[in-house]
Structure 1
Amino acid sequence: MTTEAVPAGGTTGTGARTGRVEVRYFAAAAEAAGRHEEHVDLPPGTTVGDLLDALAERHGPALAEVAARCALLVDGVLHRDRDAPVGSAVRVDVLPPFAGG
């Protein structure tokens, strides 16, 4: 993401409001990120792809590789399109493919 991250509810230099999202990692995504959850400040206009790129930059290539195969639930709604806006979501779940049914 190219704009500054500021505390939730703060503003960027342009006066636009930012939001804080809880990111939860499951299975291989948690292993690759080295954690099960974290909070991330997002500037306005952040897309699913922007978020994934920022998380990969933060946690390294192992997470980038896993995230490329993951489904993302944005406030419980499945998003596979990298251009989909995160909007005012409060939670994003990173779900790698699971074996079995």
Structure 2
Amino acid sequence: MLVRYFAAACAAAGVQEEHFDLPEGTTFEELIAAVLAVERCDGYSAGTPSLAGVIPQCSFLRNEVALRDRSAALRLGDVIDILPPFAGG
């Protein structure tokens, strides 16, 4: 599964995207746990919150469609976008 990070999530993760080799049927909640389990450099940049601090504020897309059900089963080719709140038009 491919996870793509945007804005503050990208800053907190320290990467724009990463792949997770999880079995088909892994739940979205399990994927988020795997994302948070990755050891990351603390303080990627000064003042950047941790990914664990950003995730609860985020919305998520699975294959460009809103994903709200944390128990949803994922497929191997799914792309998950992690989108923090943002302002603007």
Q: Is TM more than 0.5 here?
A: yes
**Residue in structure 1 matched with residue 43 of structure 2 by the alignment:** none
Give the residue type in structure 2 aligned to 1:46.
T
Q: TM-score scaled to structure 2, two decimals?
A: 0.78
Give the 4+ runs in structure 1 shifted more than 3 A: none
Question: Considering only CA atoms, is the larger Rg found in Structure 1 or Structure 2?
Answer: 1
Alpha-carbon distance, 1:87 to partner: 2.6
Query: 2:5 aligned to 17, 22, 25, which one?
Result: 25
Would you tell me which structure has more strand in proportion to its own residues?
1
Question: Is 1:84 the counterpart of 2:72 in the alignment?
Answer: yes
Give 5+ residue unaligned stretches, structure 2.
41-48
Question: Is 1:57 the counterpart of 2:37 in the alignment?
Answer: yes
Distance 1:90 1:48 in 2: 11
Alpha-carbon distance, 1:90 to partner: 2.9
**Residue in structure 1 matched with residue 58 of structure 2 by the alignment:** 70
Computed over aligned residues only, the root mean square deviation of the Cα atoms, in angstroms, reads: 1.8
Give aligned-pair identity as a percent.
49
Q: TM-score scaled to structure 1, two decimals?
A: 0.70
Give the residue type in structure 2 aligned to 1:56.
L
Higher relative contact order (CA 8 A, sep 6+): 2
